[in-house]
Amino acid sequence: MSNKFNNNNTITTKVIAGLLYVFFYFATFLSLKAASAQEIQQSYDYKPVVNMNFTLKEISERVYEFTYTTFDGEQVKGQLSYPTKIQDKYPVLIGLHAMGRNYQRWWVDAIAGKPTVTQVHQLTEMAQEKGYVVVAIDARHHGVRKVEEKSLKSIMHKLWNLDETDDYIDMISKTTIDHRVLIDWVEQQPQFDINNIHVAGYSMGGQISLLLAGVDKRVSNVLSIVPPNNDEELALVAPTNIVHRLNKHKIWMVSANDDKYANKQQNSDLFDKIATKNKKHITIDSGHILPADYVTQVAEWF
């Protein structure tokens, strides 16, 4: 009887020890996850710019080029266009271009004979028909912000071939903050509806649109088109680590079933992690460059 009691007592002790191990393991895991989330948020914090030196120049009727000084002193260039219909308050669409493109792609179907295969100019047309002001800027190392000694080609070569992530993370995170500074200016303009800030982006732009909404509560709606998948080495700029914050947004995601930058399972996993119930996932049988008529499937997002 005594041996049986001692055996049972030993088994009970082992069970308790096992449960405690599991408890402390998950407690540690959760604390690490919380610390990681805090680190991600902090990497997108910035000191508000007191003097943005924001300048507007009309280049055609109701279309303006602009420049401003962002959080770290860099100059940002972009474009803004008003819809034909004059309104007291305008909802705002912020467009985010794909890698290797620039802000102008949101208004033209080709530049120097090179077609805008992302079709985002059609999204601008849809938005303006529905009364939106459309705004877009150059991402870092794109358009007029190219830096010869740190080209986009060299940044991506380091990322893909040498596993050097710093330049890529810097480009994505600082571009995201540039857009936060842009929203600061939008918020100061009485003609814009700060409660109606939509962001839409293709590829890299789709990635940044999710990051921007995750760190800036002023964004209400997101259209993320073929965002690339990022692994844990790129945790600070991986949408999968931020979309749990998107719990009060309208989120539409468009993915390609044969996308070399994000496979079907990765796209499904990302969409599942988006917290809001007001979400929609459109999947298209194509590669990373979607068929031109994909825009008809997102018309109701606006």
Q: Please give the model's pTM, rounded to 2 decimal places.
A: 0.87
For residue 36, the model assigns a pLDDT of 65
Residue 22's pLDDT is 37
Residue written as token pair 């008003």: 82
Inter-residue contact 253 to 224 (CB < 8 Å): yes
Question: Nearest CA to 280 among 297, 258, 256, 260?
Answer: 297
The phi, psi pair for 91, rounded to 5°, reads -65, 155
**DSSP β-bridge partners for residue 185:** none
Report in angstroms the alpha-carbon separations of 55 from 47, 71, 243. 21, 16, 34
Can you list the residues of the chain whose pLDDT is less than 70? 1-36
**CA–CA distance, 277 with 271 (Å, rounded to integer):** 11
Task: State residue 40's pLDDT score.
Answer: 84
The confidence score (pLDDT) of residue 148 equals: 87
Asked if 259 contacts 202 with a C-beta cutoff of 8 angstroms, the reply is no
Long-range contacts formed by 27-36: CB under 8 A, 24+ apart: 36/235, 36/241
Task: Domain 55-301: give its CATH architecture.
Answer: 3-Layer(aba) Sandwich (3.40)
By CB neighbour count within 10 A (0-12 exposed, 13-18 middle, 19+ buried), where does 254 fall? Answer: buried
Neighbours of 107 (CB within 10 A): 18
DSSP 141-206: TSGGG--GGG-HHHHHHHHHHS---HHHHHHHHHHHHHHHHHHHHHHH-TTEEEEEEEEEEETHHH
pLDDT at res. 12: 44
Quick one: pLDDT at residue 20?
Answer: 37
Structure tokens at 229: 């998948």
